[in-house]
Amino acid sequence: MGKKWAIYLLAFGGFVMGSAEMGVLGIIGIIAQDTNVSVGVAGQLVSVYAIVFAIGSPILISLTSKMERKKLLLLSFTIFMIGNLVAFFSPSFTVLLISRIILASSQGVFTVVALTVGSSLVEEEKRGSAMGMILMGFSSALVLSAPLGTLVGEYWGWHWIFMFIFILSVFAMIGTAISIPKLEGQNAVSLKNQFTILHDKRIISALLITFFWILGYQLVFTYISPFLKSAASLSAEKISVALFICGTFSVIGTRLGGFAADKWGIYRTLLCSLLLNAAVLFVLPWVLTTLIGALFILAIWFGSTWATTPVLQHYLVSLSPNSSDLAIGLNNSVLQFGMSVGAGVGGWVISQTSIMSLGWAGTISVIIGLLVTFYSFSLKNRNTEQHA
């Protein structure tokens, strides 16, 4: 089987893995009701997944760095399948929470290994396209798994979402076994060496932008299904349509963000995306009262939110060209950690006020990210002047 098909199958594996993370976002309310916990507590399924992904990935990758790559991919799929079975048969919220730990650990390893394997299968001038294709598999999970998960959870029960993902993972694992050649592992990189780039204040500030931006996003999106039900009285079918539109515009926003950064510069694009994101979150409670209003504002929100992603990655690479892999890896960990904190803060906001306050809380977080952006680029400008 050709290298191109190997890349496609890694992208499919990324979609399957991402579906386990994204598939529960539209059914938090259903899980809460079925497991007899509050919506805020159920939202910690997202928090736990993200924090295990963020902290566990660099540790597990360091421990398994010498393992043959194909074997490691298959091992991560095996553990992933076990996690889905645990979720499917889970009799309680506690067991479901344990399954999220298993799933996050396996996805964290697969994500890093799939990207490195994919880039090694093609010529140097095609590595960017190969990695982009694999990442598109992960982003496609947001487009499809969240709305489909909502429909499956509403009509068949949330347990069956994990059975469907298990079935897909069987096909993905077979495809990986057939298409991926054996590749030797790499020398281990210590955790201490992975964090040496944090001596640069600009790197730290850029990572803080990521943290506060994604926190403001996840704070709302974790509870988007009950939010839409409360604000606009939308049915499960309409919420599924809304989530599909969200995912579609996240892909569009990602492409537009990268294009805008190249055409108009990182700073202008980042400011515009964050400003638009904050403005949308601020008006969210007032606009989400009708289906048309919800679809319109959600499209703008997701487009502006995910336009920020490639811009921040571009910024980190420009700050650390000699260690860009480590910078982007740390950014992914911060991204997941921010998602975890955002889900937790969102649950706290709901318990202390109401679900309608989520938009305003998200606005505050994004504005903090905007202020950090001003600070970060002022450091860059000062450093540029000193070397001029």
Dihedral of the CA atoms 373, 379, 383, 388 (nearest 10)? 70
Give how many domains the chain has, as a whole number: 2
The answer to whether residues 127 and 215 belong to one domain is no
What mean pLDDT comes out for the span 109-117? 81
Distance of alpha carbon 236 from alpha carbon 229, whole angstroms: 9
Point out the least confidently predicted range of 21-30, 187-196, 269-278.
187-196
Maximum alpha-carbon separation in the chain: 64
Question: What H or E segment, with its residue span, contains residue 136?
Answer: helix 127-155
pLDDT score, position 386: 39
Provide the percentage of residues in the chain whose pLDDT is more than 90: 24
pLDDT score, position 284: 83
Confidence at 385, pLDDT banded by 50, 70, 90: very low
Confidence at 197, pLDDT banded by 50, 70, 90: low
pLDDT score, position 39: 80
The answer to whether residues 60 and 136 belong to one domain is yes
pLDDT score, position 192: 62
What mean pLDDT comes out for the span 259-279? 88
Q: pLDDT digits over 155-184, tens only?
A: 888 889 899 999 999 999 998 888 887 776
The answer to whether residues 388 and 361 belong to one domain is yes
pLDDT score, position 165: 92
The answer to whether the beta carbons of residues 44 and 343 sit under 8 Å apart is yes
The answer to whether residues 303 and 359 belong to one domain is yes
State the CATH number of the domain containing residue 34: 1.20.1250.20
Exposure string over 8-40, b if 16+ CB within 10 A, otherwise e: bbbbbbbbbbbbbbbbbbbbbbbbbebbebebb
The answer to whether residues 211 and 296 belong to one domain is yes
The answer to whether the beta carbons of residues 221 and 347 sit under 8 Å apart is no
What domain range is 45 assigned to?
1-189
77, pLDDT greater than 50: yes
The answer to whether residues 233 and 147 belong to one domain is no
pLDDT score, position 171: 93
What mean pLDDT comes out for the span 112-137? 69
Q: pLDDT digits over 343-366, tens only?
A: 889 889 988 888 888 889 999 999
- Triad 155, 160, 108: Cα angle to 5°: 130
pLDDT score, position 184: 67
pLDDT score, position 237: 73
The answer to whether residues 92 and 227 belong to one domain is no
In whole numbers, what is the pLDDT of the chain averaged over residues? 81
Q: Tell me which range, 48-52, 55-59, 80-84, 219-223, is most confidently predicted by mean pLDDT.
A: 80-84
* Nearest of 145, 275, 143, 146 to residue 216 by alpha carbon: 275
The answer to whether residues 179 and 202 belong to one domain is no
314, pLDDT greater than 60: yes
The answer to whether residues 166 and 230 belong to one domain is no
pLDDT score, position 271: 93
Distance of alpha carbon 270 from alpha carbon 372, whole angstroms: 11
